Chain A
Amino acid sequence: MSELRFEAVSVRYGHGRHSMTAVDDVSLTVPSGEIVGLVGESGSGKSTLARAAVGLTPISAGRITLDGRSIDVRSGVRRQLQMVFQDPYLSLNPRMSIGQSIGETMPDRPRSQRSAEVRRLMQLVDLAPERMSQFPAQLSGGQRQRVALARALAGQPDVIIADEITSALDVSVQGTVLNLVRDLQSQLGLSMLFISHNLAVVRYVASQVVVMYRGRIVEHGPTADVLADPQHPYTRELLSA
């Protein structure tokens, strides 16, 4: 696992008078083996930052590095960053079996090894490996999100970016996904940027918390400190809500 660093990153949409700054000069570090929680309201730029890191949105200024190496969207570095999306009903191809979905992100290797690796990953995320040939429609929301996590792990990433991975799930299954995230972090020493609008969820999984507001970082620190003594008015509002 390694360190993901955003250095003075800006993302702007549009040109000239109509341009809109979604992310404004954000510097942020996800240290090796830690989970950093990123909170903010919708439109604060937190998802844009995530999409920029995996190359889905071009950045207009600054740079994003992994262990000091710049992430070039076109280079293979991208595989080392994997993203898990909000809605597991949308993020899995309905025409591909679970095994195929997980296997797809794997680096090239012989077929037999590939299948063994898929089984291992499915066990890691508490899914019975026999379900490998099933399709997403046969799974519940929580199970799908675990498939999405397994798919991200299959790419052998250095850092995982989790974008609101529990907000589309029922409370009864949200817990299983959060427990899994914590387990994986302690077992594998995952580095993770964990995006959520729910402070209670972030508090449970993250060691550090970053608060974004209107494209900027307004507060940053160890989770316990920020929650105990919030400095920015927005953080206070979030806490009181």
Chain B
Amino acid sequence: MKKRWLSVLRTPVGLSAGLLLFVVLALAVVAPLLWSGRADHVDTNVMLEGASARHWVGTDDLGRDLFFRVLVATRLSIQLALVATLIAVVVGLALGTLPALVGPRLGRFAVAVVNVAVAFPGLLLALFFAVIFGVGAHGAVLAIGLASAPSFARLTQTLVAGVISLDYVAAARSAGIGRFRVLLRHVLPNIAEPLVVNATIGAGGSLLAFAGLSFLGLGVQAPQYDWGRLLGDGLASIYVSPAAALAPGVAVVVAGLAFNLFGEAVAKGFGLTTQLGRLPEAPSAPADVPELDTEHVLDVQSLSVTLPGGLRPVRDVSLRIRRGEAVGVVGESGSGKSLTALAIAQLIEEPVQVTASRLRFRGTDLLTGSHRRLLGTSLAMVFQDPMTAFNPVRRIGAQLAEGAREHDGLTRKAAYARAVDRLRSVRIREPERRAGQYPHEFSGGMRQRALIGMGMMGKPALIIADEPTTALDVTVQAQILQLLQEIRLADEVALLLISHDVTVVRAICDRVLVMYAGRIVEDVSSLDRARHPYTRALVAAVPTMETSLDEPLAVIPGRMPDLADVSVGCAFAARCPLADDHCRQVEPSLETSPDGSRVACWHANDLALTTRGS
């Protein structure tokens, strides 16, 4: 938290705005103490003089020095603006949190009141209140405070509504904690940042509004004076001595800018969550030796993904997929499996860097040139959540047809016909009617089918499916897997299936790649033949219908190392029962065995022996 505030001050805008704000606030405190005497000193000899060496911006009709009056007026101007903002924040917070505190019916009423108030122009509201509360500083403060309260209330309401539906608030409420406490401890701390930022910007707005009201004569009354009043007084003689009007004007602009810019800088600083650092040198890759290869659809050599800052969530991944082959990728969350898929599909953009010594898809080198056309034609991608993969406001049929019109130059009609046909082939009943429906009218399983259908619009040679069944019910999951299997067998389409679920991968894949901490640690035709201790532990940890009920479930102790902690030695060593000093010091490379399987473990062969022995 403190760090983020400090990081705001490190940006050029943040620093200058911060300094400016500091100067303005310091002046507000100090100026009246130092210069009230000179600002109030009446000298009838120098009435209404222009700027001179003695009076830098001239004098007013009583011969008082205007420069010092502007400086001294800082306190009152800032004070009034801050009090008005305080009123806006307090009233806004009260109105904004009311729906969360009272029942639903009263809550709706509170929302309606805010809605109406927000619809009113702020200045009009301020004028209206100024008339009610009477002319003068107090009335104006109340007027501006109350006039800016509705927008603050609206913001609070929106933020509260966002947080209050979260699970931790539900958890607190179900634990029997009172509404007021829930609001105080769970809701407000989590929305404080945007509120503070907005209040800062709001203070700038109040300052301007106040200057406006005083200028109109509705705000501060003589003998008190603020910038708005000085501006109003000076305006009468602007053609004689322009400085008298310009100086308070400049003061208003500077102070307003200080508040606004500071608020903006803080907002920007807090919105920025990614750490931007210097991009490291891309690891040098040996030149690709092209070879004629018709057997493999996909050929990837030492693929790495590098984040700005130098962390590498995917390291040195090599894999080949034959035509029509189904390859599964398993691993825990954070193992880099999804990033690998995105990198292969060329869906990773700057500033994240993808490097490889070879990345070939059906003989085409993907490392050079642009290959946007691949997606939607020969490469299909299926995502975990089909709801976010579709545009919610367009009909399914049109969304499917779009790609075919784009890539294959089909007419609208032909593309739509193909869309209907593909929906039928992924076994959506009544495809003609369904094509005219919107994504929300489809169930989760049907959306996933439609998404697979979208991938089938071209003639894919490879389908990359990233957790395609994770969001689905168990019974639906089986149907989707079967569908993928059928498509694969019918057209010799290769499949790269990414899943955290060992059973899913086991069900349909010819070969399984196991990833851990960004690397492939094992590549094996069947999980039952796994040699890496991590793979074995992963398989053992899944409860099945045959798991013994009398023993505790097998677990893998510890957790996967964070990206930043990946150091020398085998990444799994800390959790591995077989690890020795050698494992902790030297990272094992991925060795290929005579049978074509690959494993990265110093103890792979001991393990094979022990299992054979037992």
Contacts and interface: CB of A to CB of B under 8 A. Distances in A.
A182 B555 CA distance: 14
Interface in A30-54: 41-42, 51, 54
Contact of A170 (B167, B186, B333, B549): B333
B553 interface: yes
Which of B174, B444, B541, B547: most chain A Cβ within 10 A?
B174
Nearest to B476: A41
A200 B189 CA distance: 40
A116 interface: no
Given A171-B502, A172-B537, A241-B478, A93 B543 contact: no
Is the interface on chain A under 10, 10 to 19, 20 to 34, or 35 or more residues? 35 or more
A59 B30 CA distance: 63
Contacts of A142: 559
B166 A90 contact: yes
Contact of A174 (B168, B474, B541): B541
Contacts of B547: 200, 203-204
Interface in B159-205: 166-168, 170-177, 185-186, 189-190
Interface string A188-231: 00000000011111011000000000000000000000010000
A163 to B, nearest CB: 10
Interface in B310-346: 332-333
Contacts of B543: 174-175, 178, 198, 200-201, 203-204
Interface residues of B, number: 42
Contacts of A133: none
Nearest to B188: A95
Interface in A225-241: 227, 234, 237-241
A96 B473 contact: no
Contacts of B542: 171, 200
Given A56-B173, A96-B185, A104-B177, A197 B167 contact: no
Interface string B249-287: 000000000000000000000000000000000000000
Given A78-B174, A90-B168, A155-B176, A42 B444 contact: yes
A7 B264 CA distance: 56
Contact of B170 (A56, A151, A179): A56
A143 B544 CA distance: 23
B132 interface: no
Given A105-B175, A170-B500, A175-B543, 19 more contacts: A56-B173, A82-B174, A82-B175, A85-B167, A85-B171, A90-B166, A93-B186, A104-B172, A152-B175, A171-B332, A171-B502, A172-B537, A172-B541, A172-B555, A175-B541, A199-B474, A199-B545, A200-B542, A200-B547
* Interface pairs A-B: 3 shortest CB-CB: A54-B174, A175-B553, A90-B167
